Amino acid sequence: MTSQNPPGRRVALYVRVSTTRQADGELSIPDQIKQRQDFCVARGLALIETFIEPGASATDDKRPEFQRMIDAATASDHPFDIIMVHSMSRFFREQFLSEFYIRRLRKAGVELLSITQEFKNDPTGNLIRQILGSFDEYQSRENGKHTLRAMQENARQGFWNGSHTPFGYQSVVAEQRGAKAKKVLAIDEAEASVVRQIYDLSLGTAGMPLGVKGIVNHLNAHGTRLRGKPFQISSVHRILTAKTYSGVLQFNRRSARTGRLKDADDWIEISVPSIITADTFDQVQSSLRARSPKRIAPRLVGNPTLLTGIARCATCDSGMTLRTGKSGRYRYYTCAGCAQKGKTHCAGRSIAMAALDGMVLEHLADRLFTPERLTVVLEAFIARSAGADDNRRRQVAQARRALTEVAGRIDRLLQMVEQGLMSPDDPALKDRLETAKAARHAAAERVRLLDRPEAVGASLITPDKIHRLATALREAMRNGDVAFRKAYLRLFVDRVIVGDDAIRVRGPTVALAKAASTGDLPPAGGVVPSFVLDWRPVRDSNSCYRRERAVS
């Protein structure tokens, strides 16, 4: 960054624009390159390489071309002596990172030169550069604030703000305001059929429910693709947890700069066409929470004590942990908050383990898990399930229409090849055929899942199913060992609040409704299988098994 540049020195140009719209318009990049080429000719500098960064912000260093340039500049045999930019804001708009990379380049013997803001490499020049850098950062943050405000208002009016659309949707122009096209999200039926299939697989609409990894394996094994790419665990989990598919798009949830979740008050909800029902989305969220390894620690699942991790103190909400007396002859649930932090935190309470276990199991078996009480608790779900079979028929008809549409699309592509309008070797033809075949498979799979005999009437909650479920639940609570009863208890109860005068039992109604729709209990070990003792004791994937057998 000195105004004195001896002739013959090697130069690399760094060219950046902030938006892809600028890059696509080819307005800024060619102009920046020409100005710097003229500058090099006038100063007798040798232009070695040009690094072009289209549509990248200078507020961070997550820029591929920028990193490639820095790596080359700081290598032992760096091919250039100067990095030339149009202005310092093209290099960075974040003061701390700007200084960090400038010092890193200086250490490697490479100068940073701005053709519109030349500074001497001395204390005064450094001070001026840092002052201007602070102004650049301030201006960038102000621009970002105004841009976000405009995007928030656009979202409040129900319009899509751009970028990549969620899988299952496409953006369409809703109206034209001057030169500005206002867009909204519309369902892409080919992709939406895959989204519905993912939710069906998660809920086990026809067969056993699959976890996220199982869904990924199923989709990839059948050639279903995520816009040309294989599905991954992260992409399936994102689809299963996105509220967008139930008809509500949440804008401004995370900070674009830090990625952190914002306060819920800052979120803006936009109504979009729904691909699945709100009930389906809620059921999947409940299932994911039940399967999550983060939900319950291994020490709690494997612990033989019935209410460990569930029982809570009504005063301080601390867990009720096991305490023993007389060398283990007496066992109690005791407030952990009082035991660990003293009576200034909570006065504490203790109750005999056998007494609390018995009261909870008796309450569940004799009062809650009866056909009459379950009918009252599930009243809302029963009312909704009355039209569930009609909804299934509509979904089957929709899937059949999608199957017919994609089959026609494939036929039209093949006719174009037969008529000589498209070459069989055209790469675009191959991509379109693969996409269409994947959509055809997804639609056919959805028809198969929804139209199987097992699926017909599967979501209806009938008196007979409630009676069967109540009988099975009472049997599970009264018989079997502690581990067996504990596994079933955790399916339907997430908190037992212990007070001096009352004990309250709370659990997810959705889990009961899901069981009532089948009339049978789900597998007892399906809560967190990886935490159940000896859940795969003789499998080759169990490295401990191989080591133990080798030693023995």
Question: Tens digits of per-residue pLDDT, 151-209?
Answer: 878 888 888 887 788 999 998 888 888 778 888 889 988 888 899 989 988 887 756 67
Residue 44 has pLDDT above 50, yes or no: yes
Contact predicate 439/195, CB 8 Å: no
Q: What is the pLDDT, as a whole number, of residue 548?
A: 47
Contact predicate 458/467, CB 8 Å: no
Q: What is the pLDDT, as a whole number, of residue 237?
A: 93
| One domain for residues 375 and 467 | yes
Rounded to the nearest 10°, the torsion over CA 266, 267, 271, 272 is 140
| One domain for residues 247 and 317 | no
| One domain for residues 364 and 467 | yes
Residue 2 lies inside a defined structural domain of this protein: no
| One domain for residues 372 and 503 | yes
What is the C-alpha separation between 389 and 410, in angstroms, rounded? 32
% of residues, the chain, pLDDT over 90: 6
Residue 152 lies inside a defined structural domain of this protein: no
Contacts of 316 (CB under 8 A, 6+ apart): 335, 337, 338, 345, 346
Residue 448 has pLDDT above 90, yes or no: no
Put simply, whether the predicted model's pTM sits higher than 0.75 gets the answer no
What is the C-alpha separation between 8 and 411, in angstroms, rounded? 63
Higher pLDDT, 489 or 538: 489
User: Picking from 167-171, 203-207, 451-455, 471-475, which range would have the lowest pLDDT averaged per residue?
Assistant: 451-455
| One domain for residues 139 and 213 | no
Supply the mean pLDDT for the chain: 78
| One domain for residues 370 and 510 | yes
Residue 501 lies inside a defined structural domain of this protein: yes
Residue 155 lies inside a defined structural domain of this protein: no
Residue 219 has pLDDT above 80, yes or no: yes
Provide φ and ψ at 160, rounded to 5°.
-85, 135
Residue 80 lies inside a defined structural domain of this protein: yes
pLDDT digits (tens, 9 = 90+) for 536-547: 444 445 545 444
Residue 66 has pLDDT above 80, yes or no: yes
Q: Using pLDDT thresholds of 50, 70 and 90, give the confidence band for residue 245.
A: very high
One-letter amino acid of 157: Q
Instruction: Decide which of 402, 430, 451 is a domain's last residue.
Output: 451
Instruction: Decide which of 416, 451, 486 is a domain's last residue.
Output: 451
pLDDT digits (tens, 9 = 90+) for 490-534: 767 878 888 888 888 887 776 677 777 766 666 554 443 444 444
| One domain for residues 350 and 476 | yes
Contacts of 79 (CB under 8 A, 6+ apart): 10, 12, 48, 49, 72
Higher pLDDT, 340 or 329: 340
Q: What is the pLDDT, as a whole number, of residue 482?
A: 67
Strand 82-85 with 10-16, pairing: parallel
Extended beta strands in 224-329, E state? 248-251, 268-271, 311-313, 320-325
Q: Using pLDDT thresholds of 50, 70 and 90, give the confidence band for residue 365.
A: confident
What range defines the domain where residue 142 resides?
10-147
One-letter amino acid of 485: R
HEC per residue, 12-37: EEEEECCCHHHHHHCCCHHHHHHHHH
| One domain for residues 209 and 358 | no
Question: Which CATH number characterizes residue 212's domain?
Answer: 3.90.1750.20
User: Picking from 193-207, 262-276, 298-312, 445-459, which range would have the lowest pLDDT averaged per residue?
Assistant: 445-459
| One domain for residues 429 and 511 | no
**How many CB atoms within 10 Å of residue 67?**
12
* Listed ranges 23-27, 40-44, 506-510; the one with the highest mean pLDDT: 40-44
Higher pLDDT, 6 or 3: 6
Q: How many domains does the chain have?
A: 4
Residue 518 lies inside a defined structural domain of this protein: yes
Contacts of 102 (CB under 8 A, 6+ apart): 1, 112
Residue 469 lies inside a defined structural domain of this protein: yes
Residue 513 lies inside a defined structural domain of this protein: yes
| One domain for residues 18 and 130 | yes
User: Picking from 143-157, 182-196, 263-277, 348-362, which range would have the lowest pLDDT averaged per residue?
Assistant: 143-157
| One domain for residues 352 and 427 | no
Instruction: Decide which of 245, 276, 291 is a domain's last residue.
Output: 291
* Angle value at C-alpha 60, between 57 and 61, nearest 5 degrees: 105
Q: Tell me the β-bridge partners of 175.
A: 182
Higher pLDDT, 308 or 164: 164
Higher pLDDT, 452 or 241: 241
| One domain for residues 310 and 344 | yes
Buried b (16+ CB within 10 A) or exposed e, 411-420: eebeeeeeee
